[in-house]
Amino acid sequence: MTTKTVLLVYAHQSAGSFNAAVKTAAVDELKKQGCRVLVSDLYEVKFKATATEDDITGAVKNPEHFCYGNETMLAWQEARLASDIVDEHKKLKEADLVIFQSLTIFIVNFLKFPMYWFSVPAIMKGWMDRVLTLGFAYTLEKRYSEGIFRDKKAMLSFTTGSHETMFSSNGINGDMNVTLWPIQNGVLNYCGFQVLAPQIFWAPTHLSPEAPAGPLGGRRPPPSNEAPLAFPPADIFDKGKGFQLKPEVREKQADSPFGLTVGHHLEKPLPPQSQMKAGV
């Protein structure tokens, strides 16, 4: 039986944090399940968040008008990328499952934590900017359901600074499904990953110190047959007409009470929990 390799991309500053406890529990549980676990602890290695010319060794093709995507794609093809990017590329190529752990979404000021403005910490966004290199992780021809990583799975595991009710469609922070769409669709699905339902730790700073983190926060490692979240396949969009939904698809959706996805809502109510649970 082939051993599953899991890459855990981890971003939290404190070794004594709830996030650190969850990370440790996750690694232990994954190993118990027979997985080979790779960890990229971004703060520990002081991962560089900014995408700059320093990511390329040797001369760039057009120094007067530096285009990061094109220049790094060429550097990747010629094996001239910075060593920290190359190291992460190797892990990604080996991984069957990628877990992005400790993406902390804070919104309320009174918490004594950094605020990350409804998105991932800068250091993890830098990992995405620098490691998901054009050519290596995607091309204009290979993205979404036709993406390079379509045989790999990915999931988010993160904490919030607000209670679950505040991230509802009626809550002050808005629907968590909308918050997750740019990350799960615009990054993971864009690169072809099969995106598994996220693990969310709602406002752990409000829990008692004795509350256990549990393996993956109570979520066991995803089984190999777990259904991913639903995203529209690339072939339902007409490439010749600006990648618009094909007329027959819109016609088929005409009687549906909901839009197709959070992003392709067709001016209808959003499909409920489409970024939180598979098969809905």
Separation CA 77–CA 63 (nearest Å): 18
Measured CA to CA in angstroms, residue 152 lies from 28, 42, 100, 121, 155 at distances of 22, 21, 14, 23, 11
Last residue of a domain, one of 204, 223, 242: 223
Query: In the listed set 223, 249, 267, which residue is the last one of a domain according to the structure?
Result: 223
Q: Which band of pLDDT confidence, cut at 50, 70 and 90, is reported for residue 221?
A: low
Q: Judging by beta carbons within 10 Å of its beta carbon (0-12, 13-18, 19+), is residue 230 exposed, middle or buried?
A: middle
Q: What is the pLDDT of residue 43?
A: 95
Instruction: Check residue 214 and give its pLDDT.
Output: 47
Tell me how far apart the alpha carbons of residues 221 and 157 are, in angstroms, rounded to a whole number. 12
Statement to judge: residues 140 and 237 lie in one domain: no
Q: pLDDT for 62-93, tens place per residue?
A: 999 999 999 999 999 999 999 999 999 999 99
Q: What is the pTM of this model?
A: 0.91
The domain boundary residue, chosen from 194, 223, 252: 223
Query: Do 200 and 73 belong to one domain?
Result: yes
- Contact (CB, 8 A) for 149 and 193: yes
CA distances from 39 to 24, 141, 201 (A): 10, 30, 20
If asked whether residues 131 and 241 sit together in one domain, one would say no
- In the structure encoding, which two tokens stand for residue 268, read together? 């209808």
Specify whether 142 is located in the same domain as 256. no
Return the CATH number at 97: 3.40.50.360
Do both 118 and 96 map to the same domain? yes
Q: Is the distance from CB of 126 to CB of 47 less than 8 angstroms?
A: yes
- Phi and psi at 105, nearest 5°, equal -105, 100
Distance between CA atoms of residues 203 and 200, nearest Å: 9
Whether 174 and 238 share a structural domain: no
Give the domain extent around 251.
230-280
Same structural domain, 141 and 246: no
The answer on 159 and 202 residing in a single domain is yes
The span from the CA of 51 to the CA of 78, in Å, is: 18
Query: What's the chain's length in residues?
Result: 280
108 within 8 A of 32, measured Cβ to Cβ: no
Question: Would you give the end-to-end CA distance of the chain in angstroms?
Answer: 32
Are residue 150 and residue 239 in the same domain, yes or no? no
Q: What's the pLDDT tens digit per position in 157-207? A: 988 888 899 999 999 999 999 999 999 999 999 999 999 999 988 888 766
Cβ partners under 8 Å of residue 138, min gap 6 = 132, 147, 148, 190, 191, 192
Do residues 76 and 184 both lie within one domain? yes
Instruction: State whether 241 and 203 are in the same domain.
Output: no
Split into its structural domains, the chain has a count of 2
pLDDT, greater one: 220 or 217: 220
Mark whether 277 and 145 lie in a shared domain: no
Residue 105: the pLDDT is 57
